[in-house]
Amino acid sequence: MSETFSDLTHYDVTESEYVVSELAGMELGFTNESAIYDEDDMVVFEKGGPIFSHFNAYPRSCCMLTEFPFNVSFDDTRDIVLQKAGVPTQTKEGYSDLLGKHFLVDNYKIGDVVFTVDYDPHMKTINFIQMRGNRQIEHLMLK
């Protein structure tokens, strides 16, 4: 990964499930169910075995990724994505107290992969795109 991304952050299970490249506009996500750690004291007892399970791509990452499912691009608005991809498997819209803002997210199930498009809820432009294994994040699993 260091050959592709020159500015990767360090993986630390107590801080984040992501390794981030700001320059590439990518967040590489890892699932680490075998790690044993104390979140309060930020102490790792067993590092576990992180498994690459998902990624987030942002508009500036377009030079890294040239194709997304349904031929979606960061230049598309939500209306165009809906024309290209059809009706989402799941749409979530509302206000997040945790984030302190409104959100709009469309999820498409493609086999055992979930293609997620997160939009600016007012402009309907794409904030980021996520790809993940459907079984990797249990509370987000689509049927």
pLDDT tens by residue, the chain, 143 residues: 666 777 788 777 666 788 888 888 888 888 877 777 777 777 777 777 888 888 999 987 655 677 899 999 999 999 999 999 999 999 999 999 988 999 999 999 999 999 999 999 999 999 999 999 887 655 555 66
pLDDT value of position 95: 94
pTM of the predicted structure, to 2 decimals: 0.81
pLDDT value of position 82: 98
Instruction: Check: CB of residue 117 under 8 Å from CB of residue 106.
Output: yes
Q: How many CB atoms lie within 10 A of CB 60?
A: 13
pLDDT value of position 62: 54
pLDDT value of position 14: 65
b (16+ CB within 10 A) / e for 16-48: ebbbbbeebbbbbbbbbeebebeeeeeeeeeeb
